[in-house]
Amino acid sequence: MRLAPKFLLALAALVLLSASPVLSQCVSLTTLGSAATQNFDTLSNTAGSTTNNLTITGWFMTESGGGARDNEQYAVDTGGNLLGFLIGGRDGQGAGGAFSLKRTDDFDVSDCAATPDGNLLVLERRFSWTRGLAVRIRSVPLAAIKSGALVDGRELMFADMGSQIDNMEGVSVHRDSSGALVLTLLSDDNFSLLQRTLLLQFTLVRE
């Protein structure tokens, strides 16, 4: 995630494709361009559990920043929301800790980026066979992100298959030469003929 160091955020469900040499955890792809499928139903969904180990072949979870929660284990929020952690810095109450991002309409977080004016832009995506693909961006005030808080934010953008989107999974923020705030979104085609790699840019217009 591309966040200002003071507000490094580790989502509890964050997993990265393993490059580990441990053979028992490797996934073998024998045919170039072929899709690999895995079942994630073994992940815990027990509300309030905080010491769950990621045991899916080919994946691992890593955390950084130190502290009690830097233990390579994930937690499950008690209300079906998305659990995050304040690491590498302190919140407004003078301590790090866990907080929750309100989950709505089956969207899940794929990335986020902090803006210079004190907001966290959260990129989310959703897919179902009945509704298709959709993405949205919510703006969450960084000041609201504190230990124990349940945060939400206003929707800045929503797009579905009626727009030129794909599996958008990366977002960054920068200012251009005029001072305007520019959002860059990125998708990955996953080596699939049904998906596209897209680089989209938008200028954020303040109301």
Whether 37 is covered by a domain: the verdict is no
pLDDT digits (tens, 9 = 90+) for 12-56: 333 223 333 333 456 676 777 776 676 767 777 676 676 777 777
Whether 181 is covered by a domain: the verdict is yes
Whether 36 is covered by a domain: the verdict is no
Domain count, the chain: 1
Query: What's residue 130's pLDDT?
Result: 87
Instruction: Give whole-number Cα distances, 101 to 93, 128, 134, in Å.
Output: 18, 21, 19
Give the structural domain span for 9: 5-25+43-204
pLDDT digits (tens, 9 = 90+) for 50-84: 677 777 776 666 665 556 656 677 666 667 788 77
Whether 30 is covered by a domain: the verdict is no
Q: pTM for this one?
A: 0.62
Q: Taking a C-beta distance cutoff of 8 angstroms, is the pair 151, 164 a contact? A: no
Whether 35 is covered by a domain: the verdict is no
Query: What's residue 61's pLDDT?
Result: 65
Whether 96 is covered by a domain: the verdict is yes
3-state helix, strand, coil in the chain (%, to 5): 5, 35, 60
Q: How far apart are CA 162 and CA 160, in angstroms?
A: 5
Whether 145 is covered by a domain: the verdict is yes
Whether 33 is covered by a domain: the verdict is no
